[in-house]
A and B are shown apart, each in its own frame.
Chain A
Amino acid sequence: MTSEFDTGVGELLRRAYDLNAAPTPGLMDRVRETLAGAGASRRRARLSRPVAVAAVGAALLFLSVAAYAAGRFLRAGELAELMDVPGMAELFEGQDVIELDQSVTVGEYTFSLRAVTRSEQDVYSSSSEDRGHFYAVVAVTRKDLEGLEEIPPREYSEISGDVTVTPLVKGCAPWHVNAVFNSNVLYKQYEGAAYIVADCDDFTCFADQGLYLGVCTGRYVSEDAFLFDETTGQITANPDYRGASAVFDLPLDPTLADSDAAQTLLERADSLYPDDGVVYEPMLDEPSWERSQRLFLWSMGQPVPGTERTMTPDENGQCVYETVYDGRTVSRTFTWREEAETGRLLILNEAEGEWSPVPFDDVVCVDVDAQPVWGIYLTVDEDLTFIAEIVTLPA
């Protein structure tokens, strides 16, 4: 029997996943080899990657550039303190940091490249196999939000969820090589600006070709965000892009280039994304929990007036939400704790017996087809005041 999940978008999803994906013979051989090796000796098996990426060990040598940190933005070191990631503050206070003040205004948005640096060890990883990491700080402001101490949650969510930062290399089509750089972003809002700490594998092995940092709005970046000139190899922002995009030149010393490492990366890109004439979307974003929750519950759901409660947890980390809605009394006890590794606030989901990050949603009422009808939406502000309310979900 065909369920509602298998029609429309469901049908497309079935085809978008590859039901015939299979491990390559090479991968299976490596696994068998490792298992056999582990059987012969007592040491724990460690599998190697098929293609090793050469580490870039050169000292950091940035070209001298003008560095006029505008007073209205946080310095990279100050931002790193707020990010609360172990080692990040030291990284952005280190001698390798180059503070920059390159700004581009496109439509309502102003993108400002604030700083770049690199390190041998990734601050997010304790792996001994790290191969050098690159970091950049970008501030994003929106004209209609300028001057605000705090960006309203919905707008901040839009900015943080809809702005993506990516490394680009002159002479390389973005959609061909970007996959091998392992890019990530981390967001923070502070006094009217959304800050992004972008990180990726160290790609300074291409420094002699020219390096860029691309920034764009959009749920994910399509080839429309940037223009790639196949003749000159230059990458520029596409003025006709439906959102806003910008490309910053990274002023890195060309002597950082490492042709062998660059060649290895290109071969890896070739193997992952063969240049078969089909243009792929270069990357996509993964909305944070905050964004996705708000996207769904706030953009599509309707808060019920009169059901909002502000709560302060007791000494056991618990607070009780009570209201009356739809002719019934709704009562929930929320227990929170802070996740040691990330500092995130987590709420105990008693029904599922697991901890979930805030904002937290709890579907209270479902219809006969088990579709959610309404539930409690819980947020928390910075001084640990919990705010919960009933939200009705769209049919």
Chain B
Amino acid sequence: METIGHLMMGFGVAFQPLSLLMMVLGLLLGLAVGVLPGLGGTAGVALLLPLTVLVPPEVAIIFLAAIYWGALYGGVITSVLFAIPGEPWSVALIFDGYPMAKQGKSGLALSAAFIASFVGIVVAALIFVAAAMPLALFALKFGPPEMFAIMLLAFSTFVGLGTGQPSKTLVSTAFGLLLTAVGLDLVTGQPRLTFGQISWLSGYHFVPITIGMFGIGEIMIDGEDRFNTEIKEVIHAKVGIKDMKEGLKAIWAFFPQTVLASLMGFFVGVLPGTGATPASFLGYGLAKQYSKHPERYGHGAIEGVIAPQAAANSAGTGSLLPMVSLGIPGSPTAAVLLAGLYMWGLWPGPRLFTEQPVFVWGLIASLFLSGTVCLIICMVGVPALAAIMRVPWGMLTPTIIIACFIGSFVMRNIMFDVWCTLIFGWIGYVMKKLKYPLAPLAVALVLGDMTERFFRQSLIMGDGNPMVFFDRPISKWFMIVAILLFAFPVFQLVKAKVKAGKAQAA
């Protein structure tokens, strides 16, 4: 009962005219930030942080959180339309969203993604209200071994990701892992594979590479197709109420999956230092794993858009939970919000809930409100967004390429990243031509760095003995599930061979 009273008070804060105004402003800014590749939600929040000293803290946090939600929604748009990840967490949206757009279903893909975002936020906000403190305390039990087990689980769901030859999937994954190894090694403090270049010490970041591989690579393939064959414009960009209805229908059809992806996403978001990006990959991987039609994934399956997006948005919300309940950021963006708390003279930590109820509950109430308002803004915008696809190719493409390069620069403000985008654009093109799947590479790039870190931290903790993963109660079960998932395709292969052998014998 007390919770409901608090929540009502929170809504009182969120419905204040100033809060509402700042929230809508934040959402619009966030959407803009989300659309621009490279300029992520973290950077957007950081950029506008100093301005928030002008409003009271409870309004400031609503404003900054709104930027984050806006970016979570907005990252979808370029992923679906142009195969360019607007945000790290929207890389997984490319796998099925872009094929959908190519089939002329961009409006449907966008609508479904936006509604999925909404479900993700609402599910997360409900859990937030129900069990903030116990969940935050539970998440603390996840140390490096547990985190490694979860990463392994994420990889295991992607075993069957590459369609075609398994060996090519393996090469692609290995290449991604190799790229993440470049830079200053955290454990020894030694530079790795930098060839004496200072700028290489920062290592490869996955955003410029994915922008290059998917964005630039896709444009080159597209250009080649157009050069070789007379292409008739197959894109039906007529969108309207119909797409939204269908989007809703799709969400309804996959409602259990959407909620499950949201729940999973929330939990991954609550874990320290992960955030929305791994959650979206896990959401995609798990949805595919448990789908009755995994073969549809990668060719424009609408579930492949819904699951990662619901997971990402739920994770984004979840990452705020340890921040407000314990003062521990769950994601880089939450870390920036935490910096804001200091600026506003609030002291993050376990006392925030009791000492600053107006602040905390105002934020929680604004989750529901922001989610709803952002959905409305996006749905109104879908027809206009899908209409971008009607812009002539010769005009659209140069604009996209410019946006790609700007995006890869603003991520870390170093020229190195721009060269990465250019070079990996070519590599992506060649890999596509040779039928090497790009998705496993993207997953390895995004998760590889974290996975290695957790693995080596765990090994230090266990004196080099890998049994450390099986000695701990939580990581043990995750490890077992992950290993079973890895073994599953092999088992299926053997079964198929045995069957084939029997058939021959008979």
Are A and B genuine complex partners? no
A-side residues, CB < 8 A to B, are none
* B residues neighboring A (CB under 8 Å): none
